[in-house]
A = this chain, B = another copy of it.
Amino acid sequence: MTESDSAAESPRPRRRRKEARPGEIIDAGLQEFAENGFAATRLEDVAKRAGVVKGTIYRYFSSKEELFEAALSSRITPFFDDVAGLVAAYPGSSEDLVRTALPRIYKALFEDGLHVLMRIIITEGGRFPAIAEQYHRRVISRGQEVLTALVRRGVESGEFRRSALTELPIVIVAPAVMTIVWKMTFDRFEPIEARRFLAAHVDMVLEGLLARDDKTEK
């Protein structure tokens, strides 16, 4: 236990990786911000998670806020493009299209990591208008366009009935939003099964959209 025999006290191996650092820091930041929120996140923790030292962060980002914005911007891939393509090219009925599109949104959200992003937007969006604005423009508006296209398709083919819902198609994805909120607050007390949730979601949406025709079996 003498201090001289300690193999500890490793002075920390340095490594210069100009290319990789920013990305690693952003990843770490995203995680921390999602867990703690902006104000409660310590840059020290972000640094630890990224395997660097706090000072290093400032070589790439000039402030905590800049890191925050960079982290969020970096991930705003218009993920609705996937669904947009689907809607544009789908050969089958509009009902089947909905049954295909909604699971895909859930997949993007929960299997790929998109819900982490959404969580941050939900919790911090109100306090960072610039970020919320960007997100609104690049994700939400886009999503509304896609939903509008989807709804129009169904209405024009006669499958969907025109209604207040078809005038405000964003409401269609509400259950997905609720799922995100649930996961971040109540899931530990009452875990939700994504599968059942999705089923109920599809059910609600579809029976609300479908014009009745063959379903007259009373």
Which residues of A come within 8 Å of B, CB atoms?
A: 35-40, 121-123, 125-127, 129, 132-133, 135-137, 140, 161, 163-165, 167-168, 170-175, 177-178, 181, 184-186, 188-190, 196-197, 199-213, 215-216, 218
- Chain B residues near A123: list those with CB within 8 A: 37, 122-123, 126
Most buried by B among A121, A122, A178: A178
B140 and A186 contact, CB distance less than 8 A: yes
B184 and A125 contact, CB distance less than 8 A: yes
Q: Which B residue sits closest to A141, measured CB to CB?
A: B190
Q: Complex: how many Å from CA A77 to CA B103? A: 36
State the majority secondary structure of interface residues on A.
Answer: helix
7 contacts between A and B (CB under 8 A): A36-B127, A37-B37, A39-B39, A133-B189, A136-B186, A168-B199, A174-B201
Q: Complex: how many Å from CA A163 to CA B196? A: 11
Q: Which B residue sits closest to A177, measured CB to CB?
A: B178
Q: Complex: how many Å from CA A199 to CA B163? A: 9
- Chain B residues near A216: list those with CB within 8 A: 212, 216
Taking the closest CB of chain B, its distance from the CB of A120, in whole angstroms, is 11
A213 and B204 contact, CB distance less than 8 A: no
